[in-house]
Amino acid sequence: MSRNTDASNVSRREFLTAAGTVAAVTSLPVEKTSSLVPAPVPPAPAVPADYIVKVDAKTKPFSYVDGAGKPAYHLNVSVAAGSRVAWQATSPHSNKHCVAILFPKETPLVDTTTGRPLYAVLWSEIEESSGPTYYSVDPDASGHYEYTVVVFDRESGATQSDDPKMIVGSGNLELKVELTSVLGELREVQKALSGKPSVEKQAGEIESVERKLEGIIKTLK
C-alpha cells in the first residue's frame, strides 16, 4: 500500500527482507485487565475520526505521540466506519529513511479496495513530505493489536525496530470472552443443581447472576 517513487535511494527488496526478519521476533505480551461493574453504561456510538502516530526514531526506545502531542505507544482508536490511522517518522542523519509498519499476527487495518486485511505498509520520507497517508480501520476490529515499526536510515544504513500496540474499539474484547466463559460455567453449575430441593435457593441466586452477566456482556463492544 505504499506509493512508488524514483527518488528513493534504497533497495525496497533489501529493506523488506530486514523488516520481515524483525517481524518474526516475538512481540511483547498483552496485559489483560478485567472487572465486573454492577451497573454498566452502554458506550456512546463511535464516530469516524483520523488518528496519527508520530514516531521519533532518534530515541531509544522510539517515542510515540499523537496529533495533539499526547503519548501514543498504546494508540487508542474508537472504531467507526470511515475511521483512519496514519504514521509519520523522524530519524537521524538528515531524516532520510524508509519505514515499515508490520502486523505479524492480527491486523485492525483493511484494504478498502479489496476488502482484505492489511498486514503491512511501507513508505519513505519522500511520501511523508506531501502529508500523512491514512489507512482504514476495519469497523469489525476490536481488542489489542501488536505491531512492529521498522525504520531504515537511508544515510547510515542502520535498521531499528520497536513493538508498540494499538487498542481498537473499547478494548473490551478480551473481557467479553472471559465473561462469556464464566457464564458458561455458571450454566453448567445451574444444570447440575436442577431438580435438587436442598439447593433450590442457591440455584435461584445463580440464575440471577447469570441474567446480570448476560446484560453486562451485551453492553461490551
Lowest mean pLDDT among 34-48, 52-66, 170-184: 34-48
Looking at residue 180, its pLDDT comes to 77
Q: Which CATH number fits domain 12-168: 1.10.3720.10, 3.40.50.2000, 2.60.40.420, 3.90.1260.10?
A: 2.60.40.420
Return the ∠ at Cα 218 (arms to 216 and 221), rounded to 5°: 100
Q: What is the mean pLDDT of the chain?
A: 81
What does residue 25 show for φ and ψ, rounded to 5 degrees? -75, 140
Cis peptide, bond prior to residue 45, ω within 30 of zero? no
State yes or no: pLDDT of 218 exceeds 80: no
36 vs 206: CA distance, rounded Å: 16
Looking at residue 35, its pLDDT comes to 47
Q: How confident is the model at residue 177 (pLDDT cuts 50, 70, 90)?
A: low
More confident: 19 or 103? 103
Looking at residue 32, its pLDDT comes to 42
151 vs 128: CA distance, rounded Å: 14
Is residue 102 within 8 Å of 148, Cβ to Cβ?
A: yes
pLDDT (tens digit, 9 = 90+) per residue, 148-157?
999 999 999 9
Q: What are all long-range contacts of 40-46, with beta carbons under 8 Å and residues at least 24 apart? A: 40/215, 40/216, 40/219, 40/220, 41/219, 42/219, 43/170, 43/219, 43/221, 45/80, 46/78, 46/79, 46/80, 46/83, 46/169
pTM for the structure as a whole: 0.61
Tell me the domain boundaries of the chain. 12-168, 173-219
pLDDT (tens digit, 9 = 90+) per residue, 3-49?
445 445 455 666 555 555 555 444 444 344 444 445 556 656 678 89
pLDDT (tens digit, 9 = 90+) per residue, 206-217?
888 888 878 777
Is residue 101 within 8 Å of 55, Cβ to Cβ?
A: no
What does residue 98 show for φ and ψ, rounded to 5 degrees? -120, 145
Residue 39 burial class via C-beta count within 10 angstroms: exposed 0-12, middle 13-18, buried 19 and up = exposed
What does residue 57 show for φ and ψ, rounded to 5 degrees? -90, 5
State yes or no: pLDDT of 89 exceeds 80: yes
Residue 46 burial class via C-beta count within 10 angstroms: exposed 0-12, middle 13-18, buried 19 and up = middle
77 vs 104: CA distance, rounded Å: 19
pLDDT (tens digit, 9 = 90+) per residue, 133-176?
999 999 888 888 999 999 999 999 999 999 999 988 765 555 66
